[in-house]
Structure 1
Amino acid sequence: MLTTLAIENYRSLRRLVMPLRRLNVVTGANGTGKSSLYRALRLLADASRNGAVAALAREGGLPSTLWAGPENISKAVRRGEQPIQGTVRTKSVSLRMGFASDDYGYAMDLGLPRPPAGAFALDPEIKREVLWAGPFLRPASLLVERGNGGVRIRDGDGEWHDGGHQLQPFDSMLSEFADPERAPELLTLRERMRSWRFYDHLRTDADAPARQVQIGTRTTILGPEGADVAAALQTIREIGPRGALDEAIEQAFPRSKVEIRTDGGRFEVAFHQHGLLRPLTGAELSDGTLRYLLWVAALLTPRPPALLVLNEPETSLHPDLLPALANLVVTAAKDTQVIAVTHSRPFLAALQAGSEETGLDLQVLELIKEFGQTAIEGQRPLDEPPWKWPSR
Structure 2
Amino acid sequence: MLNVLAVEGYRSLRKVVLPLRGLNVVTGANGSGKSSLYRALRLLADSARNGAVAALAREGGLQSTMWAGPAVLGKAVRAGRHPVQGTAPTGPASLKLGFGGDDFGYAMDLGLPVSNGPVAASAFALDPEIKVEAVWAGPVLRPSGVVAQRNGSTVTLRDADGGRHRLTEVLRPFDSMLGELADPRHAPELMQLRERVRSWRFYDHLRTDAAAPARVPRVGTRTVVLAHDGADLAAALQTIREIGDGDVLDAAVDLAFPGSRWEIAAEGGRFELRLRQPGMLRPLTAAELSDGTLRYLLWTAALLTPRPPELVVLNEPETSLHPDLLPALAQLVVGAARRSQVILVSHSRALIAALDRAQADVNTIELVKELGQTTVDGQGMLDEPLWHWPARS
- TM-score interval, smaller chain: over 0.9
C-alpha distance in 1, partners of 2:32/2:43?
19
Q: Which residue of 2 aligns with 1:227?
A: 231
Give the partner amino acid of 2:333: V
User: Where does 1:25-40 land on structure 2 (aligned, <5 Å)?
Assistant: 25-40=25-40
Q: What is the SS of the residue equivalent to 1:236?
A: helix
Tell me the TM-score normalised to structure 2 length: 0.97
Q: Which residue of 2 aligns with 1:162?
A: 166
C-alpha distance in 2, partners of 1:121/1:252?
53
Q: What is the SS of the residue equivalent to 2:123?
A: helix
User: Where does 1:16-55 land on structure 2 (aligned, <5 Å)?
Assistant: 16-55=16-55
Deviation at 1:117, TM superposition (A): 5.0
C-alpha distance in 1, partners of 2:89/2:213?
49
C-alpha distance in 1, partners of 2:230/2:390?
39
Contact kept, 8 Å, 1:7 with 1:13, in 2: the verdict is yes
1:209 aligns to 2:213 (yes or no): yes
Unpaired stretches in structure 2, ≥5 consecutive residues: none
Instruction: Output the aligned Cα RMSD.
Output: 0.9
Q: Which residue of 2 aligns with 1:107?
A: 107
Pick from 262, 276, 287 the counterpart of residue 291 of structure 2. Answer: 287
C-alpha distance in 2, partners of 1:40/1:378?
22
> Which is worse superposed, 66-75 or 148-157?
148-157
C-alpha distance in 1, partners of 2:19/2:121?
38
C-alpha distance in 2, partners of 1:323/1:163?
53
Q: Which residue of 2 aligns with 1:374?
A: 374
Tell me the TM-score normalised to structure 1 length: 0.98
Q: Which residue of 1 aligns with 2:271?
A: 267
1:179 aligns to 2:183 (yes or no): yes
Deviation at 1:170, TM superposition (A): 0.1
C-alpha distance in 2, partners of 1:46/1:156?
28
Unpaired stretches in structure 1, ≥5 consecutive residues: none
User: Where does 1:1-392 land on structure 2 (aligned, <5 Å)?
Assistant: 1-115=1-115, 116-163=120-167, 165-354=169-358, 356=359, 360-392=360-392
Q: What is the SS of the residue equivalent to 1:248?
A: helix
Contact kept, 8 Å, 1:60 with 1:122, in 2: the verdict is no
Deviation at 1:30, TM superposition (A): 0.4
C-alpha distance in 2, partners of 1:122/1:11?
18
C-alpha distance in 2, partners of 1:383/1:117?
46
Give the partner amino acid of 2:291: D
> Which is worse superposed, 124-133 or 180-189?
180-189
Deviation string for 1:217-256 (max 9, x for gaps)?
0000000000000000000011111401110100000000
> Which is worse superposed, 112-121 or 220-229?
112-121
C-alpha distance in 2, partners of 1:158/1:164?
19
Give the partner amino acid of 1:4: V
Seq. identity, %: 66
Contact kept, 8 Å, 1:3 with 1:20, in 2: the verdict is yes
Contact kept, 8 Å, 2:153 with 2:168, in 1: the verdict is no
Q: What is the SS of the residue equivalent to 1:83?
A: coil
Deviation string for 1:258-288 (max 9, x for gaps)?
0011011100001101110000001111000
Q: What is the SS of the residue equivalent to 2:194?
A: helix
C-alpha distance in 1, partners of 2:165/2:144?
15
Deviation at 1:328, TM superposition (A): 0.3
How many residue pairs were aligned? 388
Give the partner amino acid of 1:364: T
C-alpha distance in 2, partners of 1:109/1:164?
19
C-alpha distance in 1, partners of 2:308/2:351?
22
